[in-house]
Amino acid sequence: MDDRNILQRISALVAEEHGLANAHHGGPLSEDDQRRMQELEVTLDQCWDLLRQRRAKRHAGQDPGEAEVRPPSVVENYKQ
């Protein structure tokens, strides 16, 4: 997956996230939608992390193709 594909995936996930939020017009989400929203957030974090890894590797003169998707347990514990 190259940077362009990752960015397209991020855009699609964000669109789905906004669609879920807008479908409820500010009201509470169903349990299924809450679960999906959490899945979207984790997947977005993984995508952004992968993109950052690829850019860092490229900047360091390494192969960005060596970057790997990290598990949720890793990306969800980063300090912001």
Q: Is residue 30 part of a domain?
A: yes
Residue 80 in any domain: the answer is: no
Q: In terms of C-beta distances under 8 Å and separation of at least 24 residues, what long-range contacts does 8-14 make, across chains too?
A: 9/47, 10/44, 10/47, 10/48, 10/51, 13/40, 13/43, 13/44, 13/47, 14/44
Report the amino acid identity of residue 32.
Answer: D
Q: Is 18 inside a domain boundary?
A: yes
How many angstroms separate the CA atoms of 34 and 78, rounded?
22
Q: Using one digit for the tens of pLDDT, what is the confidence trace for 3-53?
A: 999 999 999 999 999 999 888 777 888 999 999 999 999 999 999 999 999
pLDDT given for residue 70 in this prediction: 95
Per-residue pLDDT at 79 exceeds 70 = no
Report the C-alpha gap between 59 and 50 in whole angstroms: 14
Global pTM?
A: 0.89
Residue 55's domain spans which residues?
3-75
- Report the pLDDT value the prediction gives residue 11, as an integer from 0 to 100: 98
Per the structure, how many domains does the chain have? 1
Residues 54-70: pLDDT tens digits? 999 999 999 999 999 99
Q: What is the pLDDT of residue 50?
A: 97
